[in-house]
Amino acid sequence: MKRSVINKFETMEKQLSSYVAQTSYRYMNLCVKAEAVALLSARFNIQGEEKSIEDVAMVSKKGDYQFMAVPKFEEDMAPLAVGIAMKHPEFKQEYGEQNVDVTDEEGKSQTVKVKYLLLTMPEVDDNRYDALKTAVDAAYKQCKAQMEAVIKRTEPELNILLKGEDQNDVDRVNEALKKSKKTWSDQRDKLYDEKIQEIEDAHEKWIVKQAEERRSSRRSESMVE
């Protein structure tokens, strides 16, 4: 099989993979649950220099809907908060501190207070539910259109390159093309379905909470009467 055929097929695979990966990243930035990846594109002004989250803080999840950002240097707490707010203003920010046991170079253990920034994902109320679903649908449609354009462009190019090739090689390429289209389409659809389900679950959680609060309010009112 000609090298040009293999190169053309591999180029298509890389493009399809890239579009799916980009869409996955966009979904993670439409935060429902705590996604530390959503902070990768945030930038922080540290003493006049632009820094990334890896340079400024250590991030860890705290349950499904929160994560903690611990600045590597305490004086960076303010620019850390500002940088996150600029990228994700929807995150609720709270300052906190906790005791942590550390061991020094001599092996001596001591307890120190560590300050952190607690980030809480907003609830998926009716307005946010609609906005999230609209954004997810838009990202999906864009990815699908990009993938279809790559395939539409690549298929005739492969057919030209395969002219005169052994029929077994032609069949192998066509089968690989069919498999590749299915693999990346399935992956794209799976990401979409999982994100929509995540939104639906969070919205249902909010609905249940609202109903419980209304029942509690009615009980309180009846007790007063």
pLDDT in tens, 157-199: 998 998 888 888 889 999 999 999 999 999 999 999 999 999 9
The stretch 94-100 carries a mean pLDDT of 89
The pLDDT > 70 percentage for the chain reads 95
Architecture category of domain 3-30+125-224 in CATH: Orthogonal Bundle (1.10)
Architecture category of domain 36-120 in CATH: 2-Layer Sandwich (3.30)
Token pair recorded at residue 180: 């590749």
pLDDT in tens, 15-28: 999 999 999 999 99
Among 13, 39, 17, 15, smallest CA distance to 28 is for 39
Q: Where are the domains of the chain?
A: 3-30+125-224, 36-120
- pTM comes to 0.85
* Four-residue CA torsion sign, 185, 186, 192, 193: positive
